[in-house]
Structure 1
C-alpha cells in the first residue's frame, strides 16, 4: 500500500518513479496492470498549472493565475514557456501593489502581467539565446551568460521544469510590461483620492 501511495503522490507532483522488479514479480497480473498504469501516469507531468499548483514555491503565482481567470488557458494544449516568478519574487513587491493587482477591478492589468511571462512556444534553457523573445503580451530581453540567464531584470533560478504542455523556468522577480506600472499607479492614486501617488519602487 505504501508503494501505491508513493506512486499516486508522484503522479500528482509530476515525478516519475520506478517499480522494483521484486514488487512487480510478486504481484498478481491484475496488480501488475494497475501498477503499470499508475507508473505511466506518474511518468507524465501535469499541465503547467498542475505542476505549479503542486509546488509550494508558486502559491502566489497560482493564486494570480486563478484571479486572472487564466487556468484554462494555461492548461490548454500549448505548448508554452512560462517564466514563473517564485513566491519570493512576489514578496519583493510592496504589499499594497500585490493586493491591488489581485482586486477584481484590476484583473486586466494582472492578466497583462501574467501573459508577459508566457511565450507561445516551448523553449528549453539550451534553446534560449541572447536577444529578444516574444511573449503573449510583448517582448522580453534575454541575456544568456555562462552561469546565468537574465530575463529583463530577473534571473532564472530553476530552469526546465517539465509540464505536459510546455516548460517552466522559475525566476526571482516579477516581470511587468511597459505602461502597466504607470496605469497601476494611476488607479491606486484614484482609490486613495489623492492627486498624486508615491511612485512604486523600481522592483520590477
Structure 2
C-alpha cells in the first residue's frame, strides 16, 4: 500500500513538472511570436513611411514652389527661362534665397532684373546659386565651388559649424529633391565681377 502511494506521488510530481515545462515552453513560444509580430509591424510602418516620403519628393523647382517661401525666386527662374533646365536630371545643389532675402536688395532691383532686357544678368545671378552636384550639408567644406554660372563661389564653414555661401548665411539645409538638394540662404548671392576672385 505504501509503495502504491509513493508511486502515485512520484507520478503526480512528474506530471506536474512536465506540465510546468510545457506551460513555460508555450509562454516562450507566445512571447517569441509576439516579438516577431511587433518587429514585422514596425518594419512595415517604417517601409510605408519611407515610401510615402519618396512619393511626395519632387524636383528642386517644384519643391521651391510648394514651400511657399521662394515666390520671388520662382518668378525669377521663370523670367530667366531656367525652370525646365532645373527640372532636368541634375543633380543640382540650389542655394535658394528666400523672399525675405530678395527683399534685402535695394528697392527696385528685383523689378529691374525681371525685365526682358536684363535677362542675361538675371540668368547669371540665378545660375550662381546652383552647384552642379548633390552636396549635402555633411559634405560641405570651406572651398571655392563651381557654379552653373561658370564662376566659382566662396563657401566657408566656420568653427561653430555655420556656413556662408558668398557671404550669405545658410539657414536651412538638406531639403532633399528628386534631382538634387536645396539649402536655404538669407541673402541673394551676387557673382563676382569678371576677373575678380570668388571672395
Same-fold call, TM > 0.5?
yes
TM-score (norm 1): 0.67
> For the Cα contact (< 8 Å) 2:125–2:191, is it kept in 1?
yes
Structure 1 residue 147 displacement after superposition: 3.3
Structure 1 residue 177 displacement after superposition: 1.1
> Number of aligned pairs?
146
Name the SS of the counterpart of 2:70 in structure 1.
helix
2:153 equivalent to 1:140:
yes
Unaligned segments of structure 1, at least 5 residues:
1-20, 22-35, 181-204
- The equivalent residue for 2:15 is none
| Aligned pairs (5 A) from 1:5-44 | 40=51, 42-44=53-55
- The equivalent residue for 2:91 is 79
State the distance in 1 between where 2:97 and 2:139 align: 20
Runs of 4+ in 1 over 3 A off after TM superposition: 39-42
State the distance in 2 between where 1:113 and 1:140 align: 11
Give the helix-richer structure, 1 or 2: 2
Counterpart pick for 1:106 among 83, 100, 118: 118
State the distance in 2 between where 1:41 and 1:68 align: 33
2:179 equivalent to 1:168:
no
Unaligned segments of structure 2, at least 5 residues:
1-40, 42-47, 195-199
State the distance in 2 between where 1:53 and 1:159 align: 17
Structure 1 residue 179 displacement after superposition: 2.8
- The equivalent residue for 1:8 is none
2:101 equivalent to 1:89:
yes
- The equivalent residue for 1:61 is 73
Name the SS of the counterpart of 1:122 in structure 2.
coil
- The equivalent residue for 1:121 is 133
Name the SS of the counterpart of 2:108 in structure 1.
helix
